[in-house]
Amino acid sequence: MRATVRGATVSTPIRLATDLIVVGAGDSQINGRISNLTPGTGLFLRTNTTAPTLRLQAAETYSGPTVVDFGLTTTVPDQDAGILRLSGSGSILNTTGFDVRSGGTLAIETVASGVTNRVGDATPIVLRSGRLLAQSVSFGSAAQSEVVGPVSVAGFCTIAGQPPATSWRTIRPFAIPDDEGMGTVRRRHC
């Protein structure tokens, strides 16, 4: 299924019979749960816009791949490939893996209470010149973190943590079991 959701909020549940391919995110959000009707179907963010953020706000239960990439007919190749942002109650615990391609970002908003569980602890993440970001949007007394599965890299990748805009507190962005692959990883801790 191919969808363009520019600037929209989708609150109804989505049941996937085929892969969901979002070609125009346009700073949109999906509040309804994305689940499988057909096992193994997944989410592909292939944006062609200059506002490429798709925010997932529910606990998604689909079991296929999650891919962030440029659209096949993009006219803005110098922009971000897309930003898939997990916030609110948003999580993707059952995906078979994350594939974040050139210029794409998987952004995980942490929670003030401490440990966040938005991605599966053993779910593989492949960064192909992509970015993995843990972003704190609120203050908290506990260290904020996310445990992720094995990370493979190719090209120039960034793994970073970002505290709230007005904070000097340090967050521990990720507990990464092992780095695998042949790429260059730039790790930033704010």
* Count of domains for the chain: 1
Average pLDDT, the chain: 78
Of 137 and 186, the structure prediction assigns the larger pLDDT to 137
The predicted model gives 69-97 an average pLDDT of 80
Candidates 16, 103, 25, 116; CA nearest to 64 is: 16
Domain extent at residue 167: 2-188
Candidates 52, 30, 174; CA nearest to 103 is: 52
**Least confident span in 78-87, 91-100, 123-132, 165-174:** 165-174
pLDDT of residue 40: 92
Q: Count Cβ atoms within 10 A of the Cβ of residue 185 and give its class: 0-12 exposed, 13-18 middle, 19 or more buried.
A: middle
Band of pLDDT at residue 73, cut at 50, 70 and 90: low
pLDDT at 188 over 80: no
Candidates 110, 111, 151, 145; CA nearest to 131 is: 151
